[in-house]
Amino acid sequence: MKIGIVCYPTYGGSGVLATELGNALARQGYEIHFITYDQPTRMALLDQNIYYHKVDIRTYPLFEYPPYELALASKMVNVSKYEQLDLLHVHYAIPHASAAYMAREILRTQGIYIPFVTTLHGTDITLVGKDESYAPVVTFSINQSDGVTAVSKSLRAETYEHFQITREIEVIPNFVDLTRFKRQKKEHFKKAICPKGEKIVVHASNFRKVKRIEDVIKVFCRLRQQIPVKMLLIGDGPERRRAEQLCQDNGLMEDVRFLGKLDAIEEALSIADLFLMPSEKESFGLAALEAMACEVPVISSNTGGLPELMIHGVTGFMSNVGDVEDMVKNALFILQDDKLPEFRANALRRAKDFDVQKIRPLYEALYERVLAEAAARNLMG
């Protein structure tokens, strides 16, 4: 089967999941064609079954903003036709689902029907999609998709609540590649950061306001007042400068490292003792899952899809959004030397429920069903 995967080639959860899915499918023998404006961060460059098609974004004096959606739809048409794709899988509704609809309809006029599957990831529904500027197109594109998935029950419920969706949305959760995300021996790395045996807490995100980076820093500041501890901050985004300023204002810079974007994030997770995710919204919590796969327990908020991933008191703890005091109390409990090993083991055990080997077949079954339904419609037509 030849599959075109459309995603944002960034460090956000939707791009990571889309790329990891493509990598996993390629290992199973599928021919995968990534279609996006830049090379996806985690794309397996040397896999013989993986191809990359760059979307050219042309600028003209007439355009104040380059029409990316049109360029993307045209590229989908071109790749689908000349690579003889069987199916398109678009991740994040805006603008990928509407571009896929245009591409499908253009190809239909040429006697070619390429069905498309849309996967909803979170802010394309919970934030951006609700904007009145986009909501009608988002609704239409979801309803016109040949298959629709959401990464959590919470996201599916929110989609039905806020949009007039007339078709079934299947929940297929995010996954983790346990052959990559596993605890590695990095003692030299840990000793360099923690020469006195301090504990390490980690946060990884795209540093947007919804991630509540200020709460991450507040939790760390209060932990530091009670135990020897260091913090690693992974990622980049609009709130990074403010985070740096907060650390400077609170005299934390000696104990905090801003690592920026990391390709091998599992190496940093391998030396961590605790992962912090106090987000205001999380459709699933992929970064937390990857931490758990590396045997790192999690302190998180109890919002969105996190309760579908976390087991309170077992893999870590969940608190109400903004309840820093509760997060600190729970973090101190986990970080006790006699408690931490059990939480580590529980985190890994839970992560195994989301192994890519268990989740990938759910997508494969969906593809087969969508293709069978498309073939049946064509025969009837």
Looking at residues 281-301, what average pLDDT do you find?
A: 96
Instruction: Return the SS3 of 34.
Output: strand
| pLDDT for 21 beyond 90 | yes
| Alpha-carbon distance values, 350 to 79, 140, 276, 309, 344 (Å) | 39, 37, 17, 8, 10
Q: Which of 48, 92, 90, 51 is nearest to 73 (CA)?
A: 90
Give the length of the chain: 381
Res 49: pLDDT:
94
Domain architecture of the chain: domains with CATH: 2-175+356-380 (3.40.50.2000), 187-354 (3.40.50.2000)
For residues 26-43, b (16+ Cβ closer than 10 Å) or e, as one string? bbeebbbbbbbeeebbbb
Res 108: pLDDT:
94
Looking at residues 339-354, what average pLDDT do you find?
A: 98
pTM strictly above 0.85: yes
130 pLDDT band, cuts 50/70/90, is low
Question: Residue 50 corresponds to which tokens in the numbers above?
Answer: 């993986």
How many Å apart are CA 24 and CA 195, to the nearest integer?
A: 38
Q: Which of 182, 193, 165, 28 is nearest to 97 (CA)?
A: 165
| pLDDT for 146 beyond 80 | yes
For 63-79, write each residue's pLDDT tens digit.
666 788 899 999 999 99
Tokens 């969105």 found at: 304
Res 152: pLDDT:
95
Q: Which residues contact 73 (CB under 8 A, 6 or more apart)?
A: 99, 100, 102, 103, 106
Range picked from 46-55, 58-67, 140-149, 260-269 for highest mean pLDDT: 140-149
Looking at residues 92-121, what average pLDDT do you find?
A: 93
Whether 331 and 201 have beta carbons less than 8 Å apart is answered as yes
The Cβ of residue 184 has, within 10 Å, a number of other Cβ atoms equal to 14
Whether 6 and 88 have beta carbons less than 8 Å apart is answered as yes
How many Å apart are CA 129 and CA 163, to the nearest integer?
A: 9
Res 305: pLDDT:
95
Whether 284 and 152 have beta carbons less than 8 Å apart is answered as yes
For residues 280-296, b (16+ Cβ closer than 10 Å) or e, as one string? ebbbbbbbbbbbbbbbb
The least confident of 3-17, 24-38, 68-82, 276-290 is 3-17
Looking at residues 135-140, what average pLDDT do you find?
A: 88
Res 80: pLDDT:
97
Identify the burial level of 166 via C-beta atoms within 10 angstroms of its C-beta, where 0-12 means exposed, 13-18 middle and 19 or more buried.
Answer: exposed
Percent of the chain with pLDDT over 90: 77
333 pLDDT band, cuts 50/70/90, is very high
For 204-244, write each residue's pLDDT tens digit.
998 999 999 999 999 999 999 999 999 999 999 999 999 99
Question: Residue 82 corresponds to which tokens in the numbers above?
Answer: 């000349």
| pLDDT for 131 beyond 70 | no
